[in-house]
A and B are shown apart, each in its own frame.
Chain A
Amino acid sequence: MSSTVLAAAQAALAAEHAAVYGYGAVGGRVAASREAQARQAYDAHRVARDALIRTVTDLGGTPVAAAAAYELPFAVSGPAAAVRLAAVLEDRVAGAYGDLVGAATGGVRRDAAAGLRAAAVRAVRWRGGSVAFPGLAERR
């Protein structure tokens, strides 16, 4: 049970590491009018990452480290691709938080649900549209 929670928390942490990295690419390419939005998201993911490091530690685990580099799902060649990448990053984070909600209880679950909600809202802002079941890949 708690090993499931720990694994899900580690996966969420890995997703946050990837998001922090990915937003570096987003921030470098996004249109000037959306730089502030990218910066806010980047900051939010750093905060969430640090919170998950504490969560994993509290659960008795050794927090996974960030990779030196991540392969981006597609080339970020301009502002439109940067926006698409931002939305994908949020989708991935949302999925990891959804799994953590299902695995955890108590405060860890509550925080994961808040993380899912924040990611979904950011994805909506990037896309200008919504999906019915953020974080649930099987219901897309």
Chain B
Amino acid sequence: MIPEVARLSRRGVVGVAAAGALTGCSGGGKAPAPRRPPAPGAAARARAAADSLTLLRRYDAVASAHPGLAVRLAPLRAEVARHAQAFGVRPPGAPAVPPGSASPRSAPPGPAPARSASAPARPSAPPVPGVPAAPRAALSWLAAAERALADRRAAALAAAPGDLARLLASVSAAGAGHVVLLTAPTDRTEDS
């Protein structure tokens, strides 16, 4: 799959999360505070956040490669972004809408703070290799990623503190729901 990209990004986020956990007690501007045992579940939470960001990049990669899927993917992507937030990282906004789609820079998903819009221009996200060329296959590719992550979270919650376990269970369940939506026939919008 994409071990290199995933590993690098995960490390980066773990670093950010760990730094965030320390800012409350460090004086700032000095040498890094001495290491101390992280809060229970901190590593699992950071891992979960990194996983959500990796998944988010996959959504963006598919929407970029297949503009026709962007509208269908938008609500799911927004939920994945909320998951990342719940695990303690601020997710990047949705990328520029590919040409041919309506409303460039559409409303940001979820309650993202407005300053994200004025943040320094991000270098374009690292490319995500492996997006299938056919839209249907691309959806299956996303569904497989969602399913694998949902399973991993279901396993990880066993060792987590109660609150984090509950959150992991919910996000895992949401991912399983995404699998259903990603693999459903396109004209399935039954309401009754």
- Chain A positions within 8 Å of B, measured between CB atoms, are 31, 33-34, 78-80, 83, 94, 97-99, 101-103, 105-106, 109-110, 112-114, 116-117, 119-121, 123-125, 128-136, 139
CA distance A47 to B177 in the complex (A): 21
From B86, B169, B184, A112 is in contact (CB under 8 Å) with: B169
Contact A130 B169 (CB under 8 A): no
CA distance A101 to B161 in the complex (A): 10
With a cutoff of 8 Å between Cβ atoms, the chain A residues found around residue B165 in the complex are 101-102, 109, 113
With a cutoff of 8 Å between Cβ atoms, the chain A residues found around residue B184 in the complex are 128
Chosen A-B contacts, 6 in total, with CB atoms closer than 8 Å, are: A94-B173, A102-B163, A117-B172, A130-B76, A135-B169, A136-B167
Q: Is the interface of A mostly helix, strand, loop or mixed?
A: helix
CA distance A129 to B192 in the complex (A): 13
Q: Which single residue of chain B is at the shortest CB-CB distance from A112?
A: B169
Q: Mark B79-92, 1 if CB is under 8 A from A, else 0.
A: 10011001000000
Contact B192 A80 (CB under 8 A): yes
Contacts A120-B177, A121-B177, A133-B82 given; does A128 touch B171 at CB 8 Å = no
Q: What total count of A-B pairs have CB within 8 Å?
A: 108
* Interface set, chain B 67-98, CB cutoff 8 A to A: 75-76, 78-79, 82-83, 86
From B163, B172, B189, A113 is in contact (CB under 8 Å) with: B172
Other than the given A103-B162, A125-B180, 13 more pairs (CB < 8 A) read A78-B192, A98-B169, A110-B154, A116-B173, A117-B176, A121-B180, A128-B188, A131-B174, A132-B82, A132-B83, A132-B110, A134-B177, A139-B170
With a cutoff of 8 Å between Cβ atoms, the chain B residues found around residue A112 in the complex are 169
Contact B169 A101 (CB under 8 A): yes
CA distance A102 to B161 in the complex (A): 8
Q: Which single residue of chain A is at the shortest CB-CB distance from B78?
A: A132
Q: Which single residue of chain B is at the shortest CB-CB distance from A135?
A: B170
Contact B75 A113 (CB under 8 A): no
CA distance A32 to B85 in the complex (A): 41
Q: Which single residue of chain A is at the shortest CB-CB distance from B164?
A: A102
Contact B171 A133 (CB under 8 A): yes
CA distance A101 to B78 in the complex (A): 25
